[in-house]
Chain A
Amino acid sequence: MNSKTKLKTDRIEVRFWGVRGSIPSPGPDTVRYGGNTLCLELRLSDQKRRLIIDAGSGIRQLGDSLSSDPGDSDRLNADIFLTHTHLDHILGLPFFAPIHNPTTRLKIYGPVTCEEDPLEDVIGGQLSYRYFPVRQHELGASIEYIDLKEGRYDLGAGVALITKYLNHPLLALGYRIEYNGKAICTAYDTEPFYNVFCTDPSAAGYDEILAAEGARAAQEENDRMEEFYKDADLLIHDGQYTQAEYESGKQGWGHSPIEYVIATARRAGVKRLAICHHDPLRTDLQLDALSQLFGHSENNGDMLIFFAREGKTVEI
């Protein structure tokens, strides 16, 4: 299905324009799953609006598709939701062709940063001469920046947005979009909350109360994550590592082990789980193997699991 196809009533269509994590990874080993960094497009039936999640390198081709679509070329209204401002999630924005078109109206949403700099400065920082030949104020499009926090937002026309802070080295948001009784969730870049405090009684600086409090807080935050995914029709989740890879020095990097994600999604009653944010070193053959291993397990119950591929669309 391409972006020009009319959707059936009450449907949401999700298209994966980029599924790779960390850095664009083109090459012969990533041709089938794709090398572009994250960008998702959501189309809602009965609405002309588009919701875009993240502006990784995948957003370039999304922009090109919109520019060539007669239905969109006159005037594009789109909402872009940035999960966070790490480079792989924003680097495509300057190459998103509609931002150079004066008829384009964009709203760019994203989380606050710990430095409390406005989103416009954080995103706009890459639109300066040292990084790009067009400066922020020279862009054709009209852009409004909106800081998001954790909460529930009414996006109008029956669309609700619920945001949830994830566990990543930078404040990152998960998004839950509800429309016509359907729910789509994103949770990347994230890893399970864990007790960051020392739990070894023989170690210097061990504090029994702190260790217990840390464990309790981490468990409660993981419970809140599960609640956030509750009964989602589609959960698009970080699965950069296997459990074994995660345990070999990757804890604290802000990305999830696939086994944990599957178990959590099942408990939350998720109907379809898309694993994304593939490691840049992960080849097509390895992803095929992981897909074979995890996608067809009897442990999955009724939940459908797939490893996201660039260009794939899912209709909910």
Chain B
Amino acid sequence: MPSLSTTVVKVLETCNDPQASANTLKQVISLDPVLTGRVLKLINSAYYALGQPITSLTRAIIMLGVNTVKNLALSFAILKNMKGSGTFHAFSIDDFWLHCLGVGVVAKSLAAIKGLLPGEQEKYFVAGLLHDLGKLPLNKQFFEEYYQIRESADREQDPFYIWEERLLGIDHSMVGGLIAEKWRLGSSLFESLSHHHDPGGCSQNNLDLVTAISLANLIVIDLDIGNAGDRLCNQTLLSDLTTKVGADFSKLSNFQESVIEEIEKAKIFLEIARKG
């Protein structure tokens, strides 16, 4: 599983700094879908037998401790990135990162609009951030094919996952589901990763969350923030999901500004590290 070069410099800087605060640590990890997934994997595979799966990075950092999380992030960032993995041919890695972060931010905003508590809002953010995790191993394994998939999806104006299925026999939702299962991320993240293109197929328990992730994904595509393969937003589906989520369309129009603002903040945060 490759990490993302977009965030790795800041991860290395933060984790190598003994004085780095837990706030900074949480901020840098929550900007990287792979690292967030790895931290949740550790907490859930270690704590698998008791209670509910942990989907909050805040709680994971309290439970694991700052040092353990730093060590995990550090060993992961060094090992995975120095091998030169994690590049995309189909779309740029920075665009992929923008898409993931955008979906996380929009999902969190949807949770806030629904009046959910901060802990639940974080779950929505994490689910959005991780929803496309399945694309990373597929891109790594089928580097050239992924380029063809993107070209075919663009040419035929089809969803990206349709061409994954056609050319590879598997799509990123299925792979995402396998990762969530193997990492014991719990049913809410499992279904967010495996059903975000098919929210109707998930269980009743996670229906609200997965529908919101599905909607957040479309909103980010519609706003043309980043690129993870899909460039075309299905407007009928967007309208349908907006109704299902129960969000007010007038509030959705404010998303563009707030999402871009959040992403700019993240960029500044990461850019500072590069200059340093």
Contacts and interface: CB of A to CB of B under 8 A. Distances in A.
A46 B187 CA distance: 44
Which secondary structure characterizes the binding site on chain B?
helix
A196 B50 contact: no
Given A149-B47, A198-B21, A171 B62 contact: no
Contacts of A168: 65
Interface residues of B, number: 31
Contacts of B68: 114, 169-171
Given A114-B68, A115-B71, A197-B22, A213 B122 contact: yes
Which of B58, B68, B118 is the most central at the interface, judged by chain A CB atoms within 10 Å of its CB? B58
B67 interface: yes
Contacts of A152: 49
A151 B59 CA distance: 19
B118 A212 contact: yes
B170 interface: no
Given A193-B63, A212-B118, A112 B46 contact: yes
Nearest to B48: A149
Interface in A138-175: 149-152, 165, 167-171
A217 interface: yes
Interface stretch (A62-70, A98-106, A177-185, A203-211): A203-211
Contact of A205 (B23, B62, B64, B66): B23
A213 B46 contact: no
B64 A151 contact: no
B72 interface: yes
A207 to B, nearest CB: 6
B234 interface: no
A87 B64 CA distance: 20
B200 interface: no
Given A197-B22, A198-B22, A217 B46 contact: no
Contacts of B66: 196, 252
A227 to B, nearest CB: 10
A111 B46 contact: yes
A7 B147 CA distance: 72
A196 B61 CA distance: 8
Nearest to B47: A150
Contact of B71 (A114, A151, A210, A221): A114
Nearest to A218: B62
Contacts of B59: 213, 217
Contacts of A206: 23
B26 A221 contact: no
A217 B58 CA distance: 8
A45 interface: no
A195 interface: yes
A193 B42 contact: no
A214 interface: yes
A205 B21 CA distance: 9
5 contacts: A193-B62, A212-B118, A213-B56, A217-B59, A217-B63
Interface of A: 111-112, 114-116, 149-152, 165, 167-171, 193, 195-198, 205-207, 209-210, 212-214, 216-218, 221, 252, 254
